[in-house]
Amino acid sequence: MAKTRSEITQAIRDSRRWTAEQAAVVLAVAEESGLSMRRFAVRHGIDPQRLTRWQSQLAGPRPADRTFVEITALATAHASTSGFEVALRNGRVVRVGSGFDAGELRRLLAVVEEARC
């Protein structure tokens, strides 16, 4: 005889260790319950931190924190060719002359930042 969803989730909740698949089942049931994760955990005898940890782990990596990048003005021999220099987090430096296209610069920086060379 097949187990019901309730019996399956009870067996998982009683397990000492959960696999990612088991945690996903419990989190899905918690979502369906309409309760907050904390309230669901307390009601079913689960450590609320356990649900929170699994929820965070299964959500995947978070986007990298934004950081400020120093921009310095270039000292050039010709005043008409002034521009600036952008030092990227990956160590690369991009020098931009005057009269640049902002959209093209954004696209270039996105490509250079993503490169794993």
Residue 49 pLDDT: 92
Structure tokens at 105: 């610069």
**pTM of the predicted model, to two decimals?**
0.47
SS (HEC) of 25-85: HHHHHHHHHCCCHHHHHHHCCCCHHHHHHHHHHHHCCCCCCCCCCCEEECCCCCHHHCEEE
List the chain pLDDT tens, one digit each, 117 residues.
445 566 667 777 777 888 888 888 888 888 888 889 899 888 888 889 998 888 888 887 666 666 666 766 655 554 445 677 777 777 777 788 777 778 887 887 777 777 655
Neighbours of 78 (CB within 10 A): 6
Domain spans in the chain, listed from the N-terminal domain onward: 5-59, 71-114
